[in-house]
Amino acid sequence: MDDDFNTALALGHLFDLARAINAARDEAVAGPGFTEAQATLRDLLEVLGFRLQGEHRHSPDADVRPFIELAVDVRSHLRAQKAWALADSIRDRLQELGVELRDTPEGTEWTWKPPA
Given pLDDT bands bounded at 50, 70 and 90, which one contains residue 1? Answer: very low
Residues 34-75: tens digit of each pLDDT:
889 989 998 888 887 887 766 545 444 557 888 899 999 999
| Prediction pTM value | 0.47
Is the model's pLDDT at 28 over the cut of 60? yes
Q: Is the Cα dihedral 41, 44, 46, 48 positive or negative?
A: negative
Strand partners, 100: 111
Question: 98, 113 in Cβ contact below 8 A?
Answer: yes
C-alpha–C-alpha distance, residues 60 and 95, integer Å: 14
pLDDT of residue 3: 62
Considering the chain, what is the average pLDDT of its residues?
Answer: 83
